[in-house]
Amino acid sequence: MPVSAACDWPQQLGARLSTELLEAHRGLGSVLRRSPLRHRQDTGRTPASPRRPARRFCVVNTRFPLSSPVMRKRNNSLTPELDGGSLLDRDPDLKQRPGGRAEGPAAGDHRGPAEERTMGKPFRRLGLLGKVKRFMLWLLVVYVSVPFLVKLCPSIQAKLVFLNFVRMPYFIDLKRPLDQGLNHTHNFYLEAEVGLRIGVWHTVPAHMWREAQEKDGDWYDSMLSSTHPVILYLHGNAGTRGGDHRVQLYKVLSSSGYHVVTFDYRGERLRLTSQTVLSLTCLLRLGLLGKVKRFMLWLLVVYVSVPFLVKLCPSIQAKLVFLNFVRMPYFIDLKRPLDQGLNHTHNFYLEAEVGLRIGVWHTVPAHMWREAQEKDGDWYDSMLSSTHPVILYLHGNAGTRGGDHRVQLYKVLSSSGYHVVTFDYRGWGDSDGSPSEGGMTSDALFMYDRLKQRLNKTPLYIWGHSLGTGVATNLVRRLCDRGSPPDALILESPFTNIREEARSHPFSMVYRFLPGFDWFFLDAITANNIRFASDENVNHISCRLLILHAEDDTVVPFHLGQKLYNMAAQSKSLSGHKVRFVSFPSSLSYRHKFIYRSPELPNILSDFLGTVSQ
């Protein structure tokens, strides 16, 4: 072979490959014209600029995009390294259409250096400072917007003045003033204007309460002609005529011999026309079935998950039994019983164990209220040596010693001539520690021993309510075992044991018929060493026993109190001691915690315990 031919074969091979590649690119020209993958023309050269001769070899990279490191950017066009133009630039069939816009990777869709640095970085969460700035910005926007909003919509300001949409307490039936403890009050309605009806309450003087039972409006109207003066009470904004503080005022005025007539002013009602109802229906119809399905699915997931969660974490069940984290009413200062209307009550703290402090209230008999003003703890302790008997009150779960119904009971007992000493168990209220059945019983025993040391021959009674009845029977059993029983035990709304109470509680209704209910829920209570076995304790108690229970009690069903009484009546340890069961009809609506409203309660106590010195 000649030397010249041997040297020319690489050039011939390169020319042949270039020809084949050009033909392949021309075949794809029509496809590229119809697709968004177009190439941008090289506008960087001037017509006079000389073109360098094209290389005979062209590398076509089909694996990496045209913006790969083998390509460089020159005047917004992509060219091969050290080349004056690409095959797409030189081939007329692959030029972009006139007026078209180059797009995509082949069109040089290349990001700037700043964008390239941020590409691929994960999304960074907003830091704490950023969140604070954003919150302050929104706060500023709201702060600036509110005055303009009120100015543009004066009705908003009217709403804030009247607050007629605030109905507290919630869920009360204004047609039944008996539910608020007003058993001598008549509810009726009057038409102040055409089509405008207002609700009215008429409370007769308290001494007429027996006559007022089941009387109609005509009887109440006839009582207005008596010699007792009438007070027309006009309440303030927010709430209704059934507000708690208003009801308490009606009772005070009624006890002072006044008729009290009060009413709710006209209020704004939501009036829906047929067109509005139709619009709302059409709005709700969209996706309603899907929303219901999703809600039911979530409800099913929660329903199935709760038993397993309680079983895996028995401490949850203990929290639900004690409910010591529920502090109602909120925002009260337990150091100031005067704020709850107890102006003859002393607050103090005792160390039940080393490093364990519990909060205590001591309320003296009501007739001592003048002497009690600005007195210290020593004076209150000295009053325990008087002839007035003392009641150690053990409250139930949830709330504190300053709970509304508990304060009302202190007032009733104080008015009847009793000292009332109550406290918050460890973990409740402002007492230290965490709750347990043994700890609650130890706290009660500590308080009893302290009182006993300060009493001469003054009777000391123990009163337990709800969960406190379990603490009371535990305490009395210990006292009887050591040979120093109390003078009497009073159980208000008691149960037999915590398992039966949990099975009958309204919260367990949705799971009561679930297979394995005992294993999931009741065994979790036992795992926390919580028993409160009053049915066993009554067989070891040897003192007078009084049980009070309302027939309409839904928290601790009436049949549990009756069952405990039947067990106590058959107990050998209680033979020879007075055992009495007092029930309150459902028509009185005393339910679980309103037995203090009974006008007969002082007489029941004096008949059972004996005459109290006044």
Active site (catalytic) residues: 466, 553, 592
Which stretches within 153-273 are classed as H helix?
154-162, 217-223, 244-255
Please, what is the Cα angle at 597 between 596 and 598, to 5 degrees?
90
Which stretches within 153-193 are classed as H helix?
154-162
The DSSP 8-state label assigned to residue 207 in this structure reads G
3-state helix vs strand vs coil in the chain, percent to 5: 45, 15, 40
The per-residue b/e assignment along 367-400, b for 16 or more CB within 10 angstroms, e otherwise, is ebeeebeeeeeeebeebbebebbbbbbbbbbbbb
Pair of tokens at residue 254: 């009624």
In whole angstroms, what is the distance from residue 96 CA to residue 85 CA? 15
Please, what is the Cα angle at 222 between 221 and 224, to 5 degrees?
70
Cis previous bond, 337, omega within 30: no
The number of helices, as runs of H, and strands, as runs of E, in the chain is 22, 14
3-class DSSP state of 93: helix
Enumerate residues 6+ apart whose C-beta is below 8 A from 328. 398, 399, 403
Is residue 461 within 8 Å of residue 609, measured between CB atoms?
A: yes
Question: Please, which residues bridge with residue 198 across strands?
Answer: 190
Count of Cβ atoms closer than 10 Å to residue 579 Cβ: 20
Pair of tokens at residue 501: 């109470």
* Phi, psi at 281, each rounded to 5°: -65, -45
Tokens 């009387």 locate to 215
Which stretches within 373-436 are classed as H helix?
377-383, 404-415
**What H or E segment, with its residue span, contains residue 490?**
strand 488-492
The DSSP 8-state label assigned to residue 198 in this structure reads E
Tokens 């909060």 locate to 359
3-class DSSP state of 86: coil
Pair of tokens at residue 278: 């139709």
Chain centroid to Cα 26, Å, comes to 74
